[in-house]
Amino acid sequence: MSKHGEVKTLYQANTDAEDKDSVSRIENMGEIEAFDTQQLDALKLVYPAMKNTYLLNVFRELRTSLLKSQNGKNFICMVTSVGFGGGASYVAKNLATAFALDKAKTSLLIDANLYGPVLEELIIGEPEFGITDYLSQSHLNIRDIVYATGVPRLRVVPLGDNKEGAAEFFSSQKMNQFVEEVRTRYPDRYIFLDAPPIAKSSEARILNEVADVVLLVVAHGQCTPAQINAAVDSVGKDKLLGLVYNN
């Protein structure tokens, strides 16, 4: 059996367990072999025993700020950047990982970055389908696109292969139904969208409508005040949780 087959089987085998209460559901989630410290370092992921405790605490503090902003309820957080190469994917995967470090929480990371998808690297094996496939193919269901990772309690939905017309997919009723289902079915699950730059892609502005809150990543020394202000305006101050400066 391929590694992908193993991942898929584990997820499907635990579908019934996920209908139980949150604590037992999390304890019974099907997990694969966890990344070791060398793999975590190579993937630039935070973990409790890492030497750079400052970085670990930054993401823990971001986690705390998000929880406080939503009164402890789960949410959909879009992570976007001012410009290309700003580090939104790096922030998104580490923020989702920080939530998964809490054994009472799970996180779901959705790759919606059409111009630089990288989240497949967190999946053991080759994923068969992703979010764009699910939105464009009626025979797929949610469990076909959610994959376990080498980080316990962290699940990833990759981008998929059907990228043409993604703006229309993301603005569809099926996308709205998808995010509502994954949010409301499991109250312990926190959802993160890795999105393209907000001021440079129509897809990010569409995803902004789906999100409850937005984190805007600003690449240190690469953005002018005018560019930052334009990105803030595109997000809207009612949804913008804050700026994350990435150096």
Binned at pLDDT 50, 70 and 90, residue 120 comes out as very high
> Which option is the CATH number for 3-246: 2.102.10.10, 3.40.50.300, 2.40.128.720, 3.30.70.100?
3.40.50.300
Q: What is the mean pLDDT of the chain?
A: 87
Residue 221 has pLDDT above 90, yes or no: no
Determine the average pLDDT of the residues in 197-224: 92
The string of pLDDT tens digits covering residues 26-79 is 655 666 678 999 999 999 999 999 999 999 999 999 999 999 999 989 999 999
The pLDDT of residue 22 is 59
Q: Which residues contact 139 (CB under 8 A, 6 or more apart)?
A: none
Determine the average pLDDT of the residues in 142-157: 94
Determine the average pLDDT of the residues in 224-240: 93
CA–CA dist 177, 193 (Å, integer):
15
Q: Which helix (H) or strand (E) holds 33?
A: none
Alpha helices in 118-240 (DSSP H): 131-136, 166-170, 173-184, 202-210, 225-235
The pLDDT of residue 227 is 93
Determine which of 30-39, 188-197, 205-214 has the lowest per-residue pLDDT on average.
Answer: 30-39
Percentage, residues of the chain above pLDDT 70: 87
CA–CA dist 219, 181 (Å, integer):
33
Phi, psi of 30 (to 5 degrees): -70, 120
Residue 24 has pLDDT above 70, yes or no: no
Supply 110's token pair.
Answer: 């959705």
The pLDDT of residue 141 is 92
The pLDDT of residue 23 is 57
Residue 96 has pLDDT above 90, yes or no: yes
- Strand locations in the chain, DSSP E? 76-81, 106-111, 147-148, 154-157, 189-194, 213-219, 240-246
Which of the pair, 162 or 28, is modelled with greater confidence?
A: 162
Residue 247 has pLDDT above 80, yes or no: no
Which of the pair, 242 or 25, is modelled with greater confidence?
A: 242
- Exposure string (b/e) for 79-105, b if CB count within 10 Å is 16 or more? bbbbbeebbbbbbbbbbbbbbbbbeeb
Residue 177 has pLDDT above 50, yes or no: yes
Supply 60's token pair.
Answer: 């823990």
Look at the block and give the residue holding tokens 């584990």.
10
Residue 16 has pLDDT above 60, yes or no: no
Q: How far is CA 191 from CA 57, 99, 138, 197, in A?
A: 20, 10, 23, 19
